Amino acid sequence: MSASGHPVSAGGRPRVFIVDDHGLFRSGVRSELADHVQVVGEADDVQPAIAGIAESVPDVVLLDVHLPGGGGQMVVSAVKATLPQVRFLALSASDAPEDVIAVIRAGARGYVTKTISSIDLVDAVRRVAAGDAVFSPLLAGFVLDAFAAFPQADSGRPSFDPELDQLTAREREVLRLIARGYTYKEIARELSISIKTVETHVSSVLRKLQLSTRHQLTRWAAERRLT
């Protein structure tokens, strides 16, 4: 996601906490983001991360999906209970869908790959800090796939909540463009809507992704583990 003049959270520079088991990656991100964000702490595993976040109360946690002591979602669920205002941006190198979906379902507000450029990463951090959702093309693809275009595919079983279990045509369109590599700005231009509307659509998709009880989602993720 490229810079689009998004409003920055209070204080101008969001306070960021980095959770990643690779020291090299942490120091890399720290130095790359130093000019734009305030790195308030870092951790290399689940327990130190929970403790560190509780202590420093950052705006955004950059969270590696894979941690030695368990998945990144454990950090999210532990912190959510006590500090709901802390927002999570998931990072991963592996792109394994089931991990990504798990961490998003646990409450992360976005997902990007580790290959992301530092400008885009800063932008993503700001966006998450402001309460928006950040979807990488890959995540958009996952979501499109998970909410597959066959809504009746659940062998006749009624959905728990049809509103949550389906994407609107517009949301699908937005996701498709994200998957094609469009920035929010470009999507807005392409669909002749405002950037704010694009953000609303993405946030709404995120909400559905987190709240839908559709068993299709979990089963889909499990299936994908094989590939």
Partner 1 sequence: MAGWASRGDDGHVEKRTGSPPQWRTAGQQDGGRLPWPADGDVPRPEGWPDQRQLGRHDIGRRVRRLCTGGPPQRGREERLVGGVAAGLAARTGFDVTAVRTVFVVACLVGGFGAAAYVVAWLLMPADGEAGSIGGRALTDRRGIALAAGLSSLLVVVLVIGWAVGAGWISRFAWSLVVTVAGLVLIWRNADPDEQVMMRRLAGPVLGQSVGYRRSRLVWRVPVALLLLIGGLVMLLYQHQHGQPLDLLGSVLLLIAAVVVMLGPWWLRIARDLVMERQARVRAEERADMAARVHDSVLQTLALIQLRAGEPQRVIQLARAQERELRSWLFDGRAPGSLGGQDMTVAAGVRLIQQEVEAQHGVAVEAVTVGDCDLDDNLSALLAAAREATVNAVKWSGADVVSLFAEVEPAQVSVFVRDRGRGFDPGAVPDDRKGLTESVRARMARRGGAATVRSVLGEGTEVSLTMPRVAGERQPSRT
What six digits make up the tokens of 218?
A: 């979990």
**CB nearer to partner 1: pick between 107 and 137:** 137
Q: Does the protein bind partner 1 through residue 179 (CB under 8 A)?
A: yes
- Which listed residue (94, 149, 196, 211) binds partner 1 by CB under 8 A? 149
Q: What is the spatial distance between Cα 102 and Cα 100, in angstroms, rounded to a whole number?
A: 5
Q: Does the protein bind partner 1 through residue 145 (CB under 8 A)?
A: yes
Q: What is the spatial distance between Cα 94 and Cα 82, in angstroms, rounded to a whole number?
A: 29
Q: Does the protein bind partner 1 through residue 153 (CB under 8 A)?
A: yes
- Which listed residue (7, 81, 155, 226) binds partner 1 by CB under 8 A? 155
Per-residue contact flags (x/-) with partner 1 for residues 84 to 113, judged by CB under 8 A: -----------------------------x
CB of 74 to partner 1, least distance (A): 27
Q: Which range touches partner 1 (CB under 8 A), out of 12-20, 40-48, 103-111, 133-141? A: 133-141
Q: Does the protein bind partner 1 through residue 141 (CB under 8 A)?
A: yes
Q: Does the protein bind partner 1 through residue 220 (CB under 8 A)?
A: yes
User: Which residues contribute to the site for partner 1 (CB under 8 A)?
Assistant: 113, 115, 117, 137-138, 140-141, 144-145, 148-150, 153-155, 176, 179-182, 216, 219-220, 223, 227
